[in-house]
Amino acid sequence: MTKRVKGPTDHVVVVGAGLAGLSTALRLAGAGRKVTVIERESVPGGRNGLLNKDGYAFDTGPSVLTMPSLINDAFNSVGEELKDWLELTPVKPLYRAFYADGSQIDVHANTEEMEAEIARTISSSEAAGYRRYVEFVTKLYKYEMNDFIDRNIDSPLNLLTPNLARLIALGGFRRLSPKVNQFMKDPRLQKVYSFQAMYAGVSPQQALAIYAVIAYMDSVNGVFFPKGGMHAVPRALAAAAQKHGVEFIYNTSVEKIETSNSRAKAVITNKGQRIECDALVLNPDLPVAWRELLGKTPLSVKRLRYSPSCATLLVGSSKKYDHVAHHNIHFGDSWDGVFDELINKKTLMSDPSVLVTIPTKDDPSLAPAGKESYYILYPTPNLDADIDWKKQAGPYRDQMIKTLEDRGYTNFSDGIETEVMTTPLDWQDRGMERGAPFASAHTFFQTGPFRPRNMARGFENVVFTGSGTQPGVGVPMVLISGRLAAERIVGPVK
């Protein structure tokens, strides 16, 4: 029996309208609770933010949307359907991968299409290896989802299920890189089916093979783009929640939690409001929530190791390029070296691998007529590194642009009309521990039952949600974490 909060749960306050907080709020509303969401920004979304500048609408957070069924699941909890709230377009190709040797490969969700692409660009034996890999990750997903991702885990003993034996037999607890290499011998394919480990904050060489589920979520299940940009997702979830009675208080932050006998009784806002609650859900980054709101930090949270961070450039430009897709990955020559620099040496990449997303390819309305919008992401070390971003931001920005120009974005700097750079320091200012937007790393002892739990130890009625708790990082995971948080309060949610 899963542990639940004690006592009455009639009125729940949710701090933070990130995707996880919205997912929790919808489910609580569906279960008949009175819900108040307090959000410091003027819009919902949290990390999935929005920036309007010079006629451009920039997404400031995640740029890759997978597993829309999980968004639909949140809408369903209040009797709504995704199709009535969001218009999603499948992104084709999912990614265009560019390599240092000048070759490129388009990644498709459709297995037949991808097999044909591999046979055409590499060989038929690699295409057959890819087919076996898809069978492997599909099984992995099936065994993993119900028992390890989509449920509240109170103890490692909860994992002792038939599916654990199946995962072990499949090789799910071996390292990701060698497992991928078992199926695909071409280093280009190995990279494109293992780079997702970076989102989990570990190198493919260190990640467990179970992280191939991230590759399943996008490379097999598909990548989508919402009309209006990624920020359309939290806007739609918040609007549906509001329709079903959830109260939102924007431009307001929680300064203090009033407690009595290990129960949260009320929150005090920066505007002096006192809002009483029967249960409290915290969506800020988990270590920040402990330190700044609960006033103490358990040793297990203090000891967490964090994922690498990233520097992003949001660019509004008059330049368009015909050779690129919606999502583009530009791999450098170095691969193992990149992760070694980011994670072990804690230095900037000497031979970068870069993600360039061009949302205007699928929604031109996000930029002024005839213009293009770019979301450029360079992984960097987190703030444990000895890098002074106040001094480094300008020179690194120039290096980012130069690398792009070297990688086929000819005269990119000439077309820039507006730009915004975000460094690890900015992520930290936005409330992300160690300036790491991908939260604590998914090392073995920070994964599944070992990841910080979503019930606050020492409090009867405080629950965490978001990427810092179970099941982890990424849009699909935080939507699930919202459901798991709601289940701690109202029991199993339909």
pLDDT digit string, tens, across residues 119-162? 999 999 999 999 999 999 999 888 887 777 777 767 766 777 78
The CA distance from 231 to 41, in Å, is 13
pLDDT digit string, tens, across residues 433-476? 999 999 999 887 788 778 999 999 999 999 999 999 999 888 99
**What would the two tokens of residue 280 be?**
């409290």
Asked if the model's pLDDT at residue 1 lies above 70, the reply is no
Asked if the model's pLDDT at residue 195 lies above 70, the reply is yes
CATH 3.50.50.60-classified regions of the chain: 11-49+65-87+228-304+442-490
DSSP assignment of 427-452, as one string? HHHTT-GGG-TT-B---GGGSGGGSP
pLDDT digit string, tens, across residues 279-318? 999 999 999 999 999 999 999 999 999 999 999 999 999 9
Give mean pLDDT, residues 409-432: 97
Q: Place 170 in a pLDDT band, splitting at 50, 70 and 90.
A: confident
Give mean pLDDT, residues 374-401: 97
- State the chain's mean pLDDT as an integer: 93
Percentage of the chain lying above the pLDDT 90 cut:
82
Q: What CATH number is given for 11-49+65-87+228-304+442-490 in this structure?
A: 3.50.50.60
**pTM of the prediction?**
0.94
Predicted confidence at residue 346, as pLDDT, reads 96
Comparison of pLDDT for 218 and 3, the residue scoring more:
3
Strands (DSSP E) along 124-278, which ranges? 223-226, 247-249, 254-260, 263-269, 274-276
Percentage of the chain lying above the pLDDT 70 cut:
99
Give mean pLDDT, residues 263-271: 97
Rounded alpha-carbon distances, angstroms, from residue 15 to 6, 38, 206, 261 = 19, 5, 34, 21
Predicted confidence at residue 107, as pLDDT, reads 96
